[in-house]
Structure formats: structure tokens, C-alpha cells
């Protein structure tokens, strides 16, 4: 299924290049929880779309982009990246609708567990995910850019 409707919220697949500028702007204005990096540049997004384009979702209300989530599945575990909702549209069920649709699609692919990262101090996101049934894991996260 490439599209679904949840109330007045329309959830659909991201389309490159048509949706890129709006999504990038939304990520850039989302606050400290979404950190826009080199992996969010057009050439990297195009590579991501070759793997699982059905896990990059947008939420629209009356044709206006109001939210996005980027998911991944490596064949074993799933991942949530860049859940973002425009500030004026927060606390209206958009983030929840995006995560539920992403979860449904991951489950369809055979995924039995998925993860996400939340920046320290992002209490709104922590509360949101706890309310959605996520459990906090005490881990050390390491990262390294490959030059």
C-alpha cells in the first residue's frame, strides 16, 4: 500500500525530487531533535530510496506537508529516523499516525523489532515515544563518518 488516510491526515510515500525541498526545510526547522547532516543531502537520499522507498513517509493535510518519518530495514532490525512534525501541527496525532504506518510497513516486511535514537534532553520526544509504548534502553551510541 503506497498511501493511506488517517482522519484528515493523508500519509503517502516520499517522491524524489518533488518532495525533497519541503522535507529538508521541515527537518531543518524541527528543532534540536532532528539533526540535518551529510546523509540528508540529495545524493544520499537517492541511495536510501533504492533500498526501501516505501519506508519514507510524508503526512499532509489539505495538500500541505506537515510531517515526515524516514524508516529503514536491514533484513533483521528496523530503524526510525527523522520523525518531524511542523510546529503548528504538533499534538494532533500526526507523529503517531506516521509511526503507526511505518510500523505496519516494517511488520509487513518481517521486522520484529525496531529502534530509534533521541537526543539527550529532548523531553518532548522522550515523552512521545514512551506514550507510544517504546522502552528506553541504556546504551552508548558510537558513530563515525566514513570519508
Percent of the chain whose pLDDT exceeds 90: 78
Residue 60 has what pLDDT?
97
- How far is residue 41 from each of residues 20, 30, 50, 75, 147, measured CA to CA in Å? 9, 17, 15, 24, 15
Give every CB contact of residue 55 below 8 A, 6+ residues apart in sequence: 70, 71, 72, 73, 102, 105, 106
Name the pLDDT band for 7 (thresholds 50, 70, 90): low
pLDDT digits (tens, 9 = 90+) for 22-76: 999 999 998 888 889 999 999 999 999 999 999 999 999 999 999 999 999 999 9
Fold of domain 3-131: Aminopeptidase (3.40.630)
Q: Considering only 39-43, 105-109, 123-127, which range has the smallest mean pLDDT?
A: 123-127
Residue 48 has what pLDDT?
93
Name the pLDDT band for 2 (thresholds 50, 70, 90): very low
Q: How far apart are CA 59 and CA 5, in angstroms?
A: 9
Q: How far apart are CA 71 and CA 69, in angstroms?
A: 6
Q: Do the Cβ atoms of 58 and 49 come closer than 8 Å?
A: no
Q: Considering only 16-30, 49-63, 79-93, 117-131, which range has the smallest mean pLDDT?
A: 117-131
> Phi/psi at 128 (nearest 5 deg)?
-55, -50
Once rounded to an integer, what is the mean pLDDT over residues 96-112?
97
Question: Where in 18-124 does DSSP place strands (E)?
Answer: 56-61, 64-73, 78-85, 114-116
Q: Where are the domains of the chain?
A: 3-131
Once rounded to an integer, what is the mean pLDDT over residues 92-107?
96
Amino acid at each position: 500500500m503506497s498511501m493511506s488516510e488517517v482522519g484528515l491526515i493523508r500519509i503517502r510515500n516520499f517522491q524524489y525530487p518533488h518532495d525533497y525541498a519541503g522535507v529538508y526545510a521541515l527537518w531543518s526547522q524541527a528543532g534540536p531533535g532532528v539533526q540535518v547532516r551529510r546523509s540528508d543531502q540529495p545524493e544520499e537520499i537517492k541511495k536510501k530510496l533504492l533500498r526501501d522507498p516505501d519506508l519514507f513517509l510524508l503526512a499532509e493535510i489539505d495538500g500541505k506537508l506537515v510531517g515526515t518519518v524516514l524508516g529503514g530495514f536491514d533484513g533483521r532490525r528496523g530503524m526510525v529516523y527523522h520523525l518531524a512534525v511542523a510546529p503548528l501541527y504538533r499534538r494532533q496525532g500526526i507523529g503517531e499516525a506516521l509511526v503507526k504506518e511505518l510500523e505496519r510497513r516494517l511488520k509487513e516486511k518481517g521486522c520484529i523489532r525496531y529502534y530509534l535514537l533521541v537526543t539527550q534532553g529532548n523531553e518532548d520526544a522522550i515523552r512521545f515515544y514512551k506514550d507510544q509504548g517504546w522502552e528506553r534502553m541504556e546504551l552508548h551510541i558510537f558513530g563515525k563518518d566514513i570519508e
